[in-house]
Amino acid sequence: MMRKLCLGDVYLNVFDIRADLARVTQRHISVDLLDRFQEQIAETVHARVTHPFAFQARRLTRRFVKQENTKK
């Protein structure tokens, strides 16, 4: 299914941007500072939004499909 959906390519293309962004940022900003941005900005947003909302939405989608397929 993953291959048919070509979602692996999506992940890789986005990963390419992330790798390029990491290269540029690490060239100009110290790793200590980047770690602070990660901990104090990104991880706070992750804990408030990405983790609770996306995680639960994925979980609920999986549960729904599992329940549906037991009906067949």
Partner 1 sequence: MITELLPEQEALFPVYVQKWTDIGKNTDRLDPEETRAIVHDFQEIVLLRAKTPVVIVENPIEAWIACNYAVMGHAAEELPGLLKEYFEAEEPPIQVASPVFPYQEGSFSTAIFSYYDYILTELKLDLGEELRKRYEAWERTSKLGFIYPLDNVCIVSQKPLEIHTDEEQRLHRDGGPALTYAGYGDFQIFSLHGTRVERYLAETPGEQLDLAYYHTLKNADQKAEFVRKYGVERMLGLGKKIDSFENYPDEEWWQRSEYELWDMACLFENVPYAPHLKMLNQTTKIWHVEGVSPECRSIPQAINFRLGGENMKIVDIA
Of 67, 66, 45, the closest CA to residue 54 belongs to 45
Integer Cα distance of 6 and 40 in angstroms: 34
Residues numbered 7 to 46 that lie near partner 1 (CB under 8 A) are 7, 9-11, 13-14, 17-18, 20-21, 24-25, 28-30, 32-33, 37-38, 40-46
- CB-based contacts of 26: which residues, under 8 Å, 6+ apart? 34
| Site of tokens 């408030």 | 48
CB of 41 to partner 1, least distance (A): 5
Binding residues vs partner 1 (CB under 8 A): 1-2, 4-7, 9-11, 13-14, 17-18, 20-21, 24-25, 28-30, 32-33, 37-38, 40-46, 48-50, 52-54, 56-58, 60-62, 64-66, 68-69, 71-72
